[in-house]
Structure 1
Amino acid sequence: MKTLSTSRSEDEDLVCIVENDACGVDTIQAVAGCSVGKGNLILRDLGKHAYTFIDRKRGRAIRIIQRPEPLIERIDPRASELRAKVMGGAVTPAERDEFYARQAEVIEKILAIEIGELFHIRDVPQDIPERAKIFKSVQCTRCGEMVAEDHVRMKDGKVVCIPCAGEYGRGW
């Protein structure tokens, strides 16, 4: 946000396009004020730790991508080794305790690192997404639940929600 010279979004002027569904997205919601409900957090799950921030007021966008260097291994190789064991479930209670103690130290070190050591940040050309639209809710004639009008389907001449519409296929 410092790079964009902007502050936490109270409206839709700051937009973030995230390319994963990992915990970093939670940080963006908390720090930048972008959210799916507000329409300024757009999830395109491509499995990349990449984030594009767009300042609608200034028409400027930056892309932030995680550097490829294995950070935890660089900071504490033992923590990296223990992390693999913890995630794999093949860890002793003593190793688990050691991992969490080391993890806390690694987090403190990461928080002290300059942002440029963690991420590549660059200006990018970016189409500015349109503002979120609010659609009327209509009732599904099959299950009775309310659904946004732009998400309904027609089945046998009746308005239905996507789950009630079922799969469409041509038999192969």
Structure 2
Amino acid sequence: MEEKVVIDKLKEFHGHICPGLLIGYQVSNIFLREFKKPKDEEIVAIVETDACSIDAIQFMTGCTLGKGNLIIRNYGKHVYTFINRKSRDAIRIALDFEKAKNFDWSKGKIPPKDMFNIKRMKIKRLPRKARIRESIRCEMCGEGVMKGKEKKFKGKIICAPCYKSLLRNSKNL
């Protein structure tokens, strides 16, 4: 797909064009030149930001929060690591701070490939695959909560928000 078409589709998906989206666009292009677009969960992306770039990565690479192959470790850094689960090959793509500082972001330009530091590596320990577990009922609010995410309070099974509410209210007593 040609660049303009992809950018237009990204804009439609994200809502607007911004520097973060264009960073994600270029990061995704770098990744896709190294690896093929994953069919499902064979590639995992670990992103070190919660910025707009994530939307481009989800849209272009197929790594998504819902499938569990997009992991957010929000360190506030434009650093993106893609790992092939089978081969354990990985690529770490980091926005170069000095080059980014001197780039004119106001024009809606795509940052050039040389604005990123790229490191290829082998990964020893893979991130866990997403787990699907049954839901159980919170005895306080009645809503379902994934097994393993529940809390126990005075013998009752409760969800995390209800547990936090109980803790807040107990401090006010």
TM value normalised by structure 1: 0.71
Q: CA deviation at 1:3?
A: 4.6
Residues 17 and 74 of structure 1, relative CA distance in 2, 3 Å threshold:
closer
Residues of 2 paired with 1:13 and 1:25: CA distance? 18
- 1:141 maps to amino acid: E
The CA deviation at 1:58 is 1.9
The match for 2:141 among 140, 143, 151 is 143
Computed over aligned residues only, the root mean square deviation of the Cα atoms, in angstroms, reads 2.1
**Deviation readout 1:16-40 (Å, 9 max, x if unpaired):** 0011100111111011111111010
The residue that corresponds to 1:17 in the other structure is 46
Tell me, yes or no, if structure 1 residue 58 matches structure 2 residue 87: yes
Does residue 73 of structure 2 align to residue 31 of structure 1? Answer: no
Q: CA deviation at 1:71?
A: 3.4
Which sits farther off after the overlay, 139-148 or 117-126? 117-126
Q: How does 1:124-135 map to 2 (within 5 A)?
A: 124-126=121-123, 127-135=125-133
- How far did 1:125 drift? 3.7
SS for the counterpart of 1:69 is helix
- Aligned ranges 1:1-172 → 2 under 5 Å: 1-7=31-37, 9-71=38-100, 73-75=102-104, 103=106, 106-108=107-109, 110=110, 113=112, 115=113, 117-126=114-123, 127-166=125-164, 167=167
C-alpha distance in 2 between matches for 1:56 and 1:26: 22
Aligned sequence identity (%): 38
Unaligned runs of 5+ in 1: 81-102
Query: Which stretches in structure 2 are left out of the alignment for 5+ residues?
Result: 1-30
Give the 3-state SS of the residue equivalent to 1:21 in structure 2. Answer: coil
User: Aligned equivalents of 1:138 and 1:74: distance in 2?
Assistant: 51
- Structure 2: how far apart are the matches of 1:48 and 1:74? 17
Distance across 2 between alignment mates of 1:40 and 1:74: 31
Q: Which of structures 1 and 2 has the bigger CA Rg?
A: 1
Alignment length (residue pairs)? 136
